[in-house]
Amino acid sequence: MMAMRQALLIHYHEIALKAGNRGFFVGRLKENLAAALEGLPVDRIVHPDGRIAVWLKDDAPVEPVIERIQRVFGVANLAVAREAGRELAEIADVAWGMLGERAFGSFAVRVKRADKNYPMNSLEVERKLGGMLMERAREKFGPQVKVNLDAPERTCLVEITSGVVLVAVDKLQGPGGMPSGTAGRLMCLLSGGFDSVVAAWYMMKRGAKVHFTHFHATPERAGESSAPVARELARRLTPWQFGSQLWLVPFEEIQRHIVAKAPSEFRIILYRRMMLRIAERLALRKRCLGLVTGDSLAQVASQTLHNLRTVGEVAHLPLYRPLIGFDKEEIIAMARRLGTCETSSQKFEDCCPLFMPKHPVIFSELDSVAQAESGLDVEALVQLGLDGATLERFHFKAGEVTVETVVKAGESDSPES
Ligand code: ATP
Ligand code: MG
């Protein structure tokens, strides 16, 4: 028998609704698929009639291809597909070749006919093909095999395009969302905990390219510093967007100033305000269009509506908090799915625990915070953070994440790179 050509058949949903800009979004999706699949035996990526087919070289294993495609935003679902001839009997042969590999009790055939010149309509193909497959299934697996259109155990998809006929079984979920790089850049304040990394992922899912700023105690102490945790999280997220930048900002000295000059109950709010200001300056340098944090309403004392307001007040860029309405359990479930949970549960000190107040203010007001901050030279502290910042760049290429360069802040770093 001739080697069977295999493809991954990919559908996108939301992009299809973008009437005028569809070409831009689909073009980026195809580029992203090509980048994600680099190094795997892919023959070519084609785009017949509103779906994408990734054709594999002969005998290429599909699992690694599936794994990579499941991290490409914009993919609504995917399925392993084979090419069939245009005659019903040929379609049935290919379909049975895929379906008949393991036993099942119920199935459905779903046909999409993009080629309106095909001599039968979708419903006719579904009925006839269903009958042919039923006969073979009952013969092999027993008389109990049924057609079940609502909740079939197995599904056979037939796509009749003007070029090829594709037959696929058992659709898999893609990540959904919009293709990476279609929405502009954001800067996420990445803490090393569970939340901010999940927050970043949600913004990435909608097409934003997200860079990271992490504030750590100085110096990086072996075994207890948060910087390696932030680095590992940035590394984990990089395959979703192909490239990331992580700014590491030493924060202990800034905290010491706040501890020395401001009332203790306001410390956490003042730390957060300084973090936002510094991250915003780095964001503007990178032409980011907004900031992202992992705040969730009322999760901790600094996340009351009062404190979110007094902290957020210092930002000029829009501040996005995609987890604001999430419960901790929902966030942790997502962290598990993303594979960041274990890293985020490591013990580390991002800020010196000695600097944490015993009784942080829970319902802060703008004027009392301004008063508490009045003894600080805010601009000098921002500059102190910027001067100490270092930049690390992460790249995803041929299935591997590498850290390409480490440069000091202030050195040339174009927003694009
Ligand atoms: P997370 O799980 O993300 O650490 P959290 O529940 O611990 O969040 P907070 O510590 O109050 O909440 O932090 C709120 C947000 O402030 C974080 O989600 C993050 O965006 C930002 N943030 C906190 N600490 C840091 C840090 N050391 N570096 C960068 N951002 C930080
Ligand atoms: Mg935290």
Type of residue found at 213: T
CATH number of 185-408: 3.40.50.620
Distance 262 CA to ligand 2 centre (A): 21
348 in Cβ contact with 192 (< 8 Å): yes
Choose one of 189, 214, 314 to mutate for the ligand 1 pocket test, by most ligand atoms within 8 angstroms of C-beta.
189
How far does the chain reach from its first CA to its final CA, in angstroms?
Answer: 49
Give the distance (Å) from ligand 2 centre to CA of residue 60.
44
Task: Supply angle C-alpha 160, 161, 167, rounded to 5.
Answer: 45
Q: Is the CB of 88 under 6 A from ligand 1?
A: no
pLDDT at residue 351, rounded to an integer: 65
Around Cβ 375, how many Cβ atoms within 10 Å? 12
| Domains of the chain by residue range | 6-173, 185-408
| CA–CA gap between residue 293 and residue 307 (Å, rounded) | 14
182 lines ligand 1 (CB under 6 A): no
Q: Which residues pair with 110 in a beta bridge?
A: 157
| Regions of the chain short of the pLDDT cut 50 | 1-2, 411-417
Q: With contact defined as beta carbons under 8 Å apart, do 253 and 178 qualify?
A: no
Alpha-carbon gap, residue 68 to 72, rounded angstroms? 7
Which atom of ligand 1 approaches the CA of 303 most closely?
11
Q: How far is CA 146 from the centre of its chain?
A: 38
Residue 254 CA, chain-centre distance (Å), reads 33
- pLDDT score recorded for residue 341: 87
Alpha-carbon gap, residue 86 to 161, rounded angstroms: 10
Tell me if 300 CB under 6 Å of ligand 1. Answer: yes
With CA atoms as reference, report the closest residue to 242 among 412, 32, 99: 32
* Shortest-distance atom of ligand 1 to CA 272: 16
**How many whole angstroms separate alpha carbon 84 and alpha carbon 4?**
9
Alpha helices in 142-246 (DSSP H): 195-205, 227-241
With beta carbons less than 8 A apart as the criterion, state whether 291 and 276 touch: yes
**Two domains, one topology: 6-173 and 185-408:** no
Helix, strand, or coil (residue 81): strand
Ligand nearest to the CA of 295: 1
- Residue 190 contacts residue 246 (beta carbons within 8 Å): yes
pLDDT of residue 390: 93
DSSP 363-378: S--HHHHHHHHTTS-H
CB 245, CB 230: distance < 8 Å? no
Residue type, 44: R
Which ligand gives the minimal distance to the CA of 191? Answer: 1
For residues 10 and 174, the answer to whether their CB atoms sit within 8 Å is yes
Q: Name, in order, each residue with C-beta under 8 angstroms of 218's C-beta and a sequence gap of 6 or more.
A: 250, 251, 252, 253, 388
Q: For residue 193, how far is its CA from the centre of ligand 1 (angstroms)?
A: 7
The tens digit of pLDDT for each residue in 113-163 reads 988 999 999 999 999 999 999 999 999 999 999 999 999 999 999 999 888
If one residue of 188, 190, 196 were mutated to test the ligand 1 pocket, choosing by the most ligand atoms within 8 A of its CB, it would be: 196
DSSP one-letter string for 309-348: HHHHTT--S-EE-TTTT--HHHHHHHHHHHT-HHHHTS--
Nearest residue (CA) to ligand 1, atom 20: 293
The ligand whose atoms approach the alpha carbon of 197 most closely is: 1
The closest ligand to the CA of 190 turns out to be 1
Please name which of 175, 129, 122, 135 lies closest in space to residue 156, comparing C-alpha atoms.
129
The three-class DSSP label of residue 408 is strand
- Find all residues with CB under 8 Å of 316, minimum gap 6, and list them: 280
Question: Does the global pTM surpass 0.85?
Answer: yes
Q: State residue 416's pLDDT score.
A: 45
Beta-strand (E) ranges in 329-409? Answer: 390-397, 400-408
**What ligand 1 atom has the least distance to the C-alpha of 197?**
3
Ligand 1 in reach of 230 Cβ (< 6 A): no
Residue type present at position 180: S
CATH topology of domain 6-173: VC0802-like (3.30.2130)
